[in-house]
Amino acid sequence: MQKSQNKPPATRPAAPPKPSFFGDIIAELKKVTWPTRGETQKLTVMVLVVAASVGLVLGALDYGLSFLVDTFLLD
């Protein structure tokens, strides 16, 4: 003799929500750890100092190499 099986009727799994482009952007931006005002100021100053330093070094190298070329190669 078979036992009667009380199975619930088959149901479809719930469809995943459609991804929303702008909704995803907003969700990701909420996860961002934004820098404080002080951190932003310090990092801005650091970038300006490094950029000026590199500019000075490259300018000095350019001046020195052009001086050497003018002196020894373009007599």
| 7 falls within a domain | no
| 26 falls within a domain | no
| 52 falls within a domain | yes
| 59 falls within a domain | yes
Q: What share of the chain has pLDDT > 70, as a percent?
A: 83
Overall pTM > 0.75:
no
The pair of three-digit structure tokens given for residue 19, joined into one six-digit string: 């991804």
Q: Confirm if 51 and 44 have CB atoms less than 8 A apart.
A: no
- Separation CA 38–CA 40 (nearest Å): 5
| 16 falls within a domain | no
pLDDT (tens digit, 9 = 90+) per residue, 48-71?
999 999 999 999 999 999 999 999
| 25 falls within a domain | no
Number of domains in the chain: 1
What contacts 58, CB < 8 A, 6 or more positions away?
Answer: none
Question: Can you give the residue range of the structural domain that contains 58?
Answer: 35-73
pLDDT (tens digit, 9 = 90+) per residue, 20-30?
899 999 999 99
